[in-house]
Amino acid sequence: MATFETLATNAEACIYALNDLDANLRRSMGGDPTPWDKGQRPGDRLAMALDDAARRVLRGIQREPERADEGLLAWEHFVLARAWEIANPLLDACSDTAFLGRPDPRHRDRFLRQSTAEAFFRRSLRLALVRAHPQETKESQ
């Protein structure tokens, strides 16, 4: 059961990270985040991309439980790759205003920038996918 919870927790954290990246990039360009009840978010695309892979990992672990750690490591690398496949076009599509940034209306002492949004995204992935980032996680603590 812990394996299923691990897969679900990893996926959910990365889905939220992608949605936060999208919202932060939109804010950095002066826009508003996509409303929760309208449109498809990047996290939704990730959820669809992970469905079959999660089933394969769980079937593999069910057949060979002694290889659960290998399965979870492969899962995290797969999730990481899919998350970046979705995130890179978002980052590439940013305008100059996102690069330069703008004051954060919620926190006057901070700026919203593309680089900050990407840094938050990288950190979220690193925290969610610990097996896929072993050295980075230890060094950043």
Write the pLDDT tens digit of every residue in 79-132.
999 999 999 999 999 988 888 888 887 788 888 899 999 999 999 999 999 988
Write the pLDDT tens digit of every residue in 40-66.
899 999 999 999 999 999 999 999 999
For residue 136, name the pLDDT band (cuts at 50, 70, 90). Answer: low
Q: What is the CATH number of the domain that holds 39?
A: 1.10.132.100
Task: List, as one string, the DSSP characters of 35-73.
Answer: PTTSS--HHHHHHHHHHHHHHHHHHHHHH-GGGHHHHHH
Identify the CA nearest to 69 among candidates 132, 11, 12, 140: 132
Mean pLDDT calculated for residue range 64-73:
92
The predicted structure's pLDDT at residue 32 = 87
The predicted structure's pLDDT at residue 137 = 46
Identify the CA nearest to 17 among candidates 116, 98, 106, 128: 128
127 φ/ψ angles, rounded to the nearest 5 degrees: -75, -35
Per the structure, the complete domain to which residue 62 belongs is given by 2-140
Asked if pLDDT for residue 139 goes beyond 80, the answer is: no
The predicted structure's pLDDT at residue 40 = 87
The predicted structure's pLDDT at residue 3 = 80
As a whole number of angstroms, the distance between CA 57 and CA 90 comes to 28
CB 96 within 8 A of CB 113: no
Burial class (CB in 10 A: 0-12, 13-18, 19+), 138: exposed
- pTM of the full predicted structure? 0.88
The predicted structure's pLDDT at residue 138 = 47
**How big is the CA angle at 56 (ends 54 and 60), to the nearest 5 degrees?**
120
The total of structural domains in the chain comes to 1
What secondary structure letter does DSSP report for 109?
A: T
